[in-house]
Structure 1
């Protein structure tokens, strides 16, 4: 794909800090990563609900939902997974610029892809949340029967089975979802945001 050279970045009058000031809180991306079945979407949505209850401007970007629209042209090859994450990173950056606290739930299996997304943000705006759960537990949960299909060879390049998952080395938050309740996990995330003066 050839990139156009006839484009110029247009600065807007209202800045990110203006929006944060009007909202009365900071903005950031909570990037939930982990295996399928680890609880990413469940916890991300629960965090978003709590933020909403607290009066924080929030939004959830969920992996499956994004693949129904923005990224419906992408498959699950390594190249397509990288492009999937790149696009989501750019969208998340726009939401942070709009003054919102974004929760994202994506397997995002490759460390280099997550690091590239981190580089899009200013210091403190990208918060990597590792939803750490043993694959055995994820397989037992298997709400969509994806592991079972992957074991039967019906799904190729499935993370954790025949495609690798590279766990974060230094995530801002680690949640052992096999040991924590959803409420406890939410409490840890909210405590972190308060500690960092996001709100």
Structure 2
């Protein structure tokens, strides 16, 4: 999603302007774009929109599994993927850390309450067969599901609180972190169904 690729061109400086377009047109692999933020400003509206879209898509993907026993670990896997898509050394390092921590806590919760009668399962999107979980998901046993969902909801609340508190000292981060926290917190809806 946001992974950056570094390619070096061996062309001379004099042909850089002419060679840049053909080199990009001939490149293979995923399209990579970079958003440049003017000095002194926090983040990027385009990156924020992309991140919020990724978090929304995570919720939709997990809802589409139709299996409430998989919801907690599905959200864990999707948040892990979202965190992996945030480049290191950016204004969003703290967001990446919160997503990684939240993902790890949800994954641990699901595994501690796994259903011994069911195996782990990989999930593929019904809307897009190319989209699938990066790892098999752990189903939660039925007898523990309500308690696990309550604990998962607390984990989402903690993530939002951490983001909002970290933005208290930096006005430029406050609005963006509030939107990201709200997107993370919105995943609790899946846990109530």
With the length of structure 2 as denominator, give the TM-score of the two structures.
Answer: 0.30
The structure, 1 or 2, with the larger RCO (C-alpha pairs under 8 Å, 6+ apart) is 1
With the length of structure 1 as denominator, give the TM-score of the two structures.
Answer: 0.29
Higher strand share: 1
